[in-house]
Amino acid sequence: MQLQQLSHINWLVNSWQRSEQAGLTQQSRAQDIRLSDNKLKERRQELAGLIDTVSRFALPLFYQLFAHSDSRLILTDQHGVIIGSWGQARFREKLSQIALSSGACWQEPIKGTNAIGTALIEQKPISVIGEQHFIQHHHFISCSASPIFDYTGLLIGVLDITSEQQKHTLSTQVVVQNMVQLVENQLLNQIPHGHVRIDLACEPSLLSSGWQGVIIADESGQILAHNQVAGQLLAQGRVIGQSVEQVLPRPQTHASFIYTTTPLHSKQHRTRALTPASDLHFGDAEMERCWQQANRVIDKDIRLLILGQTGVGKNEFVKALHKNSQRKNGPLVAVNCGALAKELVEAELFGYVAGAFTGASHKGYQGKVRLADKGILFLDEIADLPLDAQSRLLHVLQDKTVLPVGSNHATKVDIQIIAATHKNLEQMVTQGMFRQDLYYRLSDLVVELPSFQQRQDRQALIHHIHRRYSDVGQQICGDLMQRLLAYHWPGNLRELDSLIKVASLMAEGEGVLTFNHLPTHLAQKLSHAAPIAAEDDQQKDIKSTVEASLLKTYQATQGNISQTSRLLGLSRNTIYRKLKALGILK
């Protein structure tokens, strides 16, 4: 390709000219300048927060859309050094031939025109398709990259998707922009002294779309930071340093947009949305619904019954509820009813006085109910509670008093009781195995946690658990990830946690966790769990995601083509063409 053929793309012409001025030729092989292993490890540790945020928010979308293609998601630091890379293992090997691998520096003066290096210089989204790369050796790939900025406007990294040339379209640029928007919005939540987050949009459906405006303010209401969309909606550019009351209209009905307010790290806030930053879920709609419902009743005189298969995370769910409740300074006492000896259940739960039965402590025992006073009592596997103990528990719920075994004196208790089971309690009531009156007392609100296989955030959960046990920077190869996603997981999160813990230990010191690191008994579980790549479905998913992102951005900017073009990194003509194809413009 000759320079004159690029004359209609100004940034590309400028980039090729810079490449020539750097002394590069189209026929040359680029230098492989990279960090040492120790320096790379240090850099990854310095940017662990950014890597973690990309893993949580960008990676699930990447795997959803590109899991079966020869593509890699690449994260660099502000100097163009690759600090993270995810995707197909076989394509990673091919990219290593041009040193597109961890630790390598892809600045434009070193590698010539490329999406990463050119995005660093232009400080805007860039797509470089095949022969648009200055160096011929890079023509077999196509790349879409976008810079990542922190809340001060400082460029802190670049996110890139690199694919085989013929399988890469400009739609990939929209996906990258979607990912960067999610990452930047989440980074705003981590601002020091951030007290409240305000989400703005021109209509309710956009408030949690990822393309909403976001403002972060301190405890006094002074604005510390905001994203690009917020600046555009407010039509005031950057409003940092102003007070929230100055820039947000009251009442909202007088504004061209609506907004919601969410406290950050607030001691008093208890009904906030569970965000993907939580350890409980990373965007699963059903888990979010369960959390919101449970969170609304945890501080009321309403009993919560949690249903779900073994291993779905009922214990962690209750721990999060306790931490988020008014009772968080009180105890959380968890009891596995199925693990208690039948003859000692009542003594263990309700306590006993000295000498109440043979073998009883001469000091007596308070019991779990009284130990939970001013806190929460979590009765797991409630279906295994014997009928006699069910009767005593019913009295605790009705009278809010507990009568220890061998005593005639009842003690007042102030507790919230949460029960959980994997069994069908309604069926047990019909069979006479569980008291009907107790069932109704325990089930003011019933939530059922989804199995792992039903969840929408499986990839993110796998990465989250893997990070808990693995070396910093270790990745999961694409083949193993697909097997993990395809396996049916009868033990749910508990089984997944166990497998990844062992596999990570076997792969200690390795850069990539692969199927070969699994011990035989674990490998056998996953040996038949290889999914069939569905390229047509994948292309449909990408098309759907791109269309949704385009519409959300167009709506978020209130129909401003120029702003939509800038946010998505696409030309105005491309935006017009796509909106016409969707029937939005005539």
Listing DSSP states for 536-584 in one string gives: HHHHHHHHHHHHHHHHHHHHHTTT-HHHHHHHHT--HHHHHHHHHHTTS
Whether 280 is in a domain gets the answer: no
Q: What is the CA radius of gyration of the chain?
A: 28
SS3 content of the chain, % helix, strand, coil (to 5): 45, 15, 40
462 lies in the same domain as 330: no
Predicted pLDDT of residue 308: 96
What is the domain-level CATH number for residue 466? 1.10.8.60
Considering the domain architecture, whether residues 359 and 508 belong to the same structural domain is answered as no
- pLDDT given at position 530: 56
Could you give the C-alpha distances from 102 to 41, 480, 546, in angstroms and in order? 10, 20, 28
Q: Are residues 33 and 173 in the same domain?
A: yes
Residue ending a domain, among 263, 295, 318, is 263
What is the pLDDT, as a whole number, of residue 542? 61
Give CA separation, 466 vs 54, 505, 513, in Å: 15, 11, 9
Last residue of a domain, one of 122, 153, 188: 188
Selection from 99, 178, 95, 163 nearest residue 128 by Cα: 163
Instruction: For residue 271, tell me if it sits in a domain.
Output: no
CATH code for the domain in which residue 50 is found: 3.30.450.40
- Same domain, residue pair 359 and 463: no
Residues 330 and 413 in one domain: yes
Does residue 273 lie within any of the structural domains? no
The verdict on 97 and 182 lying in the same domain is yes
On whether residue 586 sits in a domain, the answer given is no
Spatial neighbors of 329 by CB under 8 A, at least 6 apart, are none
The CATH number given to whatever domain includes residue 545 is 1.10.10
Examine the domain organization and report whether 303 and 380 are in the same domain: yes
Instruction: Let me know if residue 176 belongs to a domain.
Output: yes
Q: Which domain holds residue 219?
A: 196-263
The residue out of 448, 478, 505 marking a domain boundary is 448
d(CA 305, CA 541): 37
User: Per residue in 491-515, is it b (16+ CB within 10 Å) or e — as a string?
Assistant: bbbbbbbebbebbbeebeeeebbbb
Residue 215 has phi, psi (to 5 degrees) of -125, 140
318 and 252 within one domain: no
* Residue 57 forms part of a structural domain: yes
- pLDDT tens, per residue, the chain with 586 residues: 565 555 567 899 999 999 999 999 999 888 899 999 899 999 998 998 899 889 878 887 887 777 667 888 999 999 999 999 888 777 878 888 898 988 999 999 999 999 999 999 999 999 999 999 999 999 999 999 999 998 778 899 999 999 987 777 768 888 898 899 889 988 988 888 888 889 888 777 677 667 788 999 998 889 998 887 888 788 765 688 888 888 886 655 545 678 888 887 543 333 333 333 345 776 677 888 898 899 899 999 999 999 999 999 999 999 999 998 999 999 999 999 999 988 889 999 999 988 777 777 778 888 999 999 999 999 999 999 999 999 999 999 999 999 998 888 899 999 999 999 999 999 999 999 999 999 999 999 999 999 999 998 788 788 888 888 887 667 787 778 888 988 999 999 999 999 999 999 998 877 778 888 898 988 888 887 755 444 555 555 566 666 667 777 777 677 788 877 777 767 788 888 877 776 777 6
Residue 372 counted as domain residue: yes
Co-location of 436 and 458 in the same domain: no
pTM of the predicted model as reported, rounded to 2 decimal places: 0.56
Identify whether residues 313 and 416 lie together within a single domain.
Answer: yes
Same domain, 397 and 378: yes
332 and 368 share a domain?
yes
Q: How many domains does the chain have?
A: 5
In a domain, 276, yes or no: no
